[in-house]
Amino acid sequence: MSFPLLTATAVLPALGAVATAAVPAARRTAAKWLALLVSLGTLALAVVVLVRFEPGGDRYQLTESHSWIKEFGVRYELGVDGIAVALIALTALLIPFIVLAGWHDADPAPGSGLPAQKEGAKETGPYHWRPTQGFFALILAVEAMVIISFEATDVFLFYIFFEAMLIPMYFLIGGFGDRAHAHGEQVASTQRSYAAVKFLLYNLVGGLIMLAAVIGLYVVAGNFSLQEIAQARADGSLHMATSTERWLFLGFFFAFAVKAPLWPLHTWLPNAMGEATTPVAVLITAVVDKVGTFAMLRFCLQLFPEASKWATPVILVLSLISIVYGALLAVGQRDIKRLVAYASISHFGFIIMGIFAMTSQGQSGATLYMVNHGISTAALMLVAGFLISRRGSRLIADYGGVQKVAPLLAGTFLIGGLATLSLPGLAPFVSEFLVLVGTFERYPVIGIVATFGIVLAALYTLVLYQRTMTGPVKPEVSAMPDLRPRELAVVAPLVVLLIFLGVYPKPVTDIVNPAVRSTLSDVHKKDPQPEVEAAK
C-alpha cells in the first residue's frame, strides 16, 4: 500500500492541533512556534500533493479507500481532482500566514486576565485557562477539517467534516475577539458572542437541511460514494424522479449557499468577520467559505446535474444580487473589516455565477477566483488588521494620511485593494474576466449587469484607500510605526503571489481546466452543447 498522502495532509494539522493544545500554560511561545511549524509541514505535504498530481491523468488521483461504517454504506474515500488540489494548496498556503499574523492576538490581555480566585476554593485544580494554545490549536483543527472536506469523495465523510468544522470556527469567533472596539470590552464581548452564535446557527441550519438531503440521497442511491453515484447517474442505472432530484439538490445547495455565502443567506458573514480577530476573519472568508463554493462544483453539479440546470436561472439572479448588493453595502461601510466582508459577499457572487454559468470559462474562472480571492482578501485583510491593531479602531474615519507615516503599510494595503478591485496585472483580474466572459456567452444580460460590480469595487476600494491613507496626517496616526519584520513576512509573499499569478496564471489553470471540463461534461451529458475551449 502506498503512502496515504491525502490522509497525512489532513492528519498532520489535526495532530498538531492536539499537540498545540497540550503545550503547558506557561510555554505560550512554544505553542506558537509549534503551530507555525505544523502549518509549514502541512504546506510541504500540500506541495507534494501538487507535484504528484498529474493534470492530464485520471479524474480523481491519489485515491484512498477504506471501509468505514458498513451499516451506513459509508466508506473512507479520498481523492483529489484539479479543483481540490488548487484549494488544498491555497489552504495550506494561507494557514502559516494566518498563524503568523495572529502571533499576538491570543496573548492574555494585560490587566484583564483571569478573574481572581476565591479564597480557599478548590476550583481550577490542575487545569489552567490557556487561550493562546487554544487559539492556535483551533486554527490547525479548522485547517485539518477543511483539507479533508476538499479531499472527501464520500458524501457522508464530506458532510461530517463540513459540519464539524463549525465548532472550532465558532470558538475562534466567539472566544477571541478583536480588542479594537469602540465601546469597551463588555459590549465587544456581547457582540462577539452574538456574531459567533449567528455564524453557528446559520451554518448549522444549513447543515441540518443538508443532512435530510444526505439521508434522502442514501435512500435513493444506496451508498454515499460520489464516484459511484455520479457514474450511475451518468449511465442511467440510477434514476431519480425529477422532483426528488430537485429537493435533494435544494437541500445540498442551501447548505453550501449559507456557507459561501449567497444573498440572502449572507448576513452572518459581516458580523462574524467584523467581530473576529483579523486572522480568523481571513480564515473564514479565504479558507472556510471556499468549502461552500467548492462543494457546489463537486457535489451539486455531479450528483444532481439536471436539477442544477433547472435551478440555474434563479441561482444566477441570486448571485447577481450578491454581486451588486454586496458591493453597494461595501461602499456604505464605515468599518474597515465589515467593508471587506461585504466585498467578499460580492466576490462570492462572482464565484457562484461562474460555477452556474455552465461554461468551461466560467467554471475555470470560478475556481481560479476561489484561489485568487483567498490570496487577495488575505493580503488586504491582514494589512487592514495590522493597521487596526496600531490605532485600536476599526472605523475608517479614525484614519487619515497613513501613507506619509507608514509607507510600506500603505503600499501593501493599496496592492491588496487593487487586487480586490481586479486591476489587470494582478491575479483576480484573470479570474474575474473569465467569469464574466463565461457568463456573457450564455447569459449576456446577466454578464453586463455583473460588470457593474467591478465599477462598484473600484469605488469602495479606492474610497477606502483615499480616506485612510491619503490626506492630512491625523494626530492619532502620526506616531504609527511601519510594518514590522513579522508583518512584512506575512504580506510580502502574498503580494508577490498576486503579481505572479496575475501575469502568469497558467500553472493554476493547467491544473484546474481538466477537472472543470469533466465536471461540465457531467452536467451536459444530456444536452450536448458546443464545448467552448477554455482560455489557456
Partner 1 sequence: MSASAVHSLWTTAADPISKIEAPKIEYGQLSPILIVLGAALVGILVEAFAPRRVRYHAQLLLSAVALCAAFAAIVALAADGYGTTKAHIAAMGALAVDGPALFLQGTILLAGLVALFTFAERRLDPDPHGHRTDSFVAQAAAVPGSDSEKAAVRAGFTTTEVFPLLLFAVAGMLVFPAANDLLTLFIALEVFSLPLYLMCALARRKRLLSQEAAVKYFLLGAFASAFTLFGIALLYGYAGSVSYATIARVVDGTVTTVNPALVDTMGNDALLLIGAAMIVMGLLFKVGAVPFHMWTPDVYQGAPTPLTGFMAAATKVAAFGALLRLLYVVLPGLRWDWRPVMWAVAIITMLGGAIVAITQTDVKRLLAYSSIAHAGFILAGVIATTPDGVSSVLFYLAAYSFVTIGAFAVVTLVRDAGGEATHLSKWAGLGRRSPLVAAVFAVFLLAFAGIPLTSGFAGKFAVFKAAAEGGAAPLVVVGVISSAIAAFFYIRVIVLMFFSEPRQDGPTVAVPSLLTSTAIGVGVAVTLVLGVAPQYFLNLANQAGIFVR
Among 11, 197, 328, 535, binds partner 1 (CB under 8 A): 197
DSSP states along 461-523: HHHHHHHHHSSSPPGGGTT-----HHHHHHHHHHHHHHHHHHH--HHHHHHHHHHHHHHHHHH
Residue type, 440: F
* Residue 118 vs 536, nearer CB to partner 1: 118
Range list of β-strands (E), 50-125: 61-69, 74-80
The one segment of 114-122, 280-288, 384-392, 434-442 that binds partner 1 by CB under 8 A: 114-122
The one segment of 122-130, 278-286, 404-412, 477-485 that binds partner 1 by CB under 8 A: 122-130
DSSP code of 286?
I
Among 105, 143, 163, 432, binds partner 1 (CB under 8 A): 163
CB of 16 to partner 1, least distance (A): 18
CB of 9 to partner 1, least distance (A): 19
Residue type, 301: L
* Residue 60 vs 171, nearer CB to partner 1: 171
The one segment of 205-213, 293-301, 382-390, 523-531 that binds partner 1 by CB under 8 A: 205-213
Half-sphere CA count of 414, side-chain side, radius 13 A:
12
Binding mask 207-246 for partner 1 (x = CB under 8 A): -xx-xx--xx-xx---------------------------
The one segment of 125-133, 263-271, 405-413, 499-507 that binds partner 1 by CB under 8 A: 125-133
DSSP states along 208-270: HHHHHHHHHHHHHHSS-BHHHHHHHHHTTSS---HHHHHHHHHHHHHHHHHHTT-TTS-THHH
Among 54, 57, 72, 392, binds partner 1 (CB under 8 A): 72
106 near 132, Cβ under 8 Å? Answer: yes
Residue type, 330: A
Binding mask 289-328 for partner 1 (x = CB under 8 A): ----------------------------------------
CB of 330 to partner 1, least distance (A): 28
* Residue 17 vs 380, nearer CB to partner 1: 17
Peptide bond between residue 264 and the one before it cis (omega within 30 degrees of 0): yes
SS3 assignment for 349-416: HHHHHHHHCCCHHHHHHHHHHHHHHHHHHHHHHHHHHHHHHHHCCCEHHHCCCHHHHCHHHHHHHHHH
* Residue 200 vs 480, nearer CB to partner 1: 200
Q: Which three cell numbers stand for residue 272?
A: 462574524
The one segment of 7-15, 48-56, 111-119, 380-388 that binds partner 1 by CB under 8 A: 111-119
Q: State yes or no: residue 33 binds partner 1 (CB under 8 A).
A: no
Taking each helix axis from N to C end, the angle separating 28-52 and 82-101, rounded to the nearest 10 degrees, works out to 160
CA distance 369 to 269: 19
Angle CA 390–372–531, to nearest 5: 165
Q: State yes or no: residue 19 binds partner 1 (CB under 8 A).
A: no
Strands 61-69 and 74-80, by their bridges, are: antiparallel
Q: State yes or no: residue 69 binds partner 1 (CB under 8 A).
A: yes
Among 171, 249, 342, 429, binds partner 1 (CB under 8 A): 171
CB of 138 to partner 1, least distance (A): 12
CB of 164 to partner 1, least distance (A): 5
Question: What are residue 154's DSSP bridge partners?
Answer: 225
Among 40, 164, 395, 458, binds partner 1 (CB under 8 A): 164
* Residue 238 vs 535, nearer CB to partner 1: 238
68 near 75, Cβ under 8 Å? Answer: yes
CB of 101 to partner 1, least distance (A): 23
Nearest CA to 283 out of 180, 150, 488, 142 is that of 142
CB of 183 to partner 1, least distance (A): 15
Among 99, 166, 303, 327, binds partner 1 (CB under 8 A): 166
Q: State yes or no: residue 478 binds partner 1 (CB under 8 A).
A: no
39 near 16, Cβ under 8 Å? Answer: yes
* Residue 172 vs 512, nearer CB to partner 1: 172
DSSP code of 124?
S
Q: State yes or no: residue 274 binds partner 1 (CB under 8 A).
A: no
Among 174, 279, 438, 505, binds partner 1 (CB under 8 A): 174
Among 111, 115, 472, 530, binds partner 1 (CB under 8 A): 115
CB of 250 to partner 1, least distance (A): 12
Name residues contacting partner 1, limited to 175-194 (CB under 8 A). 175, 186, 189, 192-193
Q: State yes or no: residue 167 binds partner 1 (CB under 8 A).
A: yes
* Number of amino acids touching partner 1 (CB under 8 A): 46
CA distance 418 to 424: 9
Instruction: Identify the helix (H) or strand (E) that includes residue 36.
Output: helix 28-52
Residues binding partner 1 (CB under 8 A):
68-72, 114-115, 118, 121-125, 127-130, 159-161, 163-164, 166-167, 170-171, 174-175, 186, 189, 192-193, 196-197, 200-201, 204-205, 208-209, 211-212, 215-216, 218-219
